Every structure is written in structure tokens, then in C-alpha cells.
Amino acid sequence: MKCIVDTNVLVSASLFPESVPAAAFFKAATMPNSVAVCDYSIDELHRVYSRKFPTKRQMLDSFLTVLYRTAEIIDTPPESEATDDEAAIRDLDDRPILRAAQKSDAEILITGDRDFLESGIARPHIITPAEFMQIQDT
């Protein structure tokens, strides 16, 4: 199952390696699953660390080393490729992640962001890290 992981899950996974978001990221990266991260999320991850966690840069660097080995890094489609579903996402900064998930044909978007979770978007299936951990791989 192809999964795309939202930035907030990446932040939590990188700061708290024993957390549910970290476990969800690694489950998504383990067969039969595959994990993708859009380049927009990686840029956003750098911005969050610079703004909120400047003294924890080493944690980010360590996490990125793992991320680049385990995840497919996908290009974020331009705004000109927006779908009608994007109107359901209130936060304009989240729309590129949805666009990347849909363009890459991800089946699941793993996020803790209420904006995504309450959007009513059907594809990809949008779930929390905890919900993803409950899915039984087949």
C-alpha cells in the first residue's frame, strides 16, 4: 500500500523516535507498504526546525538520513494541477501535500492535521498515525 506522510508526522517522528508517528512512518516504509514524501514536506520540515527547534538540528539531520534511504521523494505538482478536492482544505499550505498525494496515486495520507482529517476527501484515504498502526498488512 502506497502511503504519503504529512509534515506534522515527520516532525513528530524526527523529534520523538519512540512515538506513534515514528512507528507509523517506519511501518509505511516496510513491505508490503511503501512510503513517499513530497519535496514540499521536506522544505517545510526544514522551516519548522529552523523556526521552532534550531538547537535540535542534529536530530533532523539524522532523521533525514533515514528518510532519504527509506522513502520515495516525489515532486510536488504545481498549483496549475490542483484538483477540486483542494477546496476542502482550508489551510493553503496543506494543499500542495494533497496535490502530491493524489498525483502519486498514494492510497493513504498519514497525518495528524485536523484540516485533512475533517476534509471528507475520499482518495487518498486520510488517517492518523494511530489509525495507520491498526491496519493489518496483507
pLDDT in tens, 14-73: 999 999 999 999 999 999 999 999 999 999 999 999 999 999 999 999 999 999 999 999
Q: Of 42, 37, 43, 33, which Cα lies nearest the Cα of 2? A: 33
Indicate the SS3 state at residue 59: helix
| In this structure, CATH architecture of domain 2-134 | 3-Layer(aba) Sandwich (3.40)
Q: Quick one: 48 exposed, middle or buried, by C-beta within 10 A (0-12, 13-18, 19+)?
A: middle
pLDDT in tens, 89-112: 988 999 999 999 999 999 999 999
Indicate the SS3 state at residue 104: coil
pTM greater than 0.85: yes
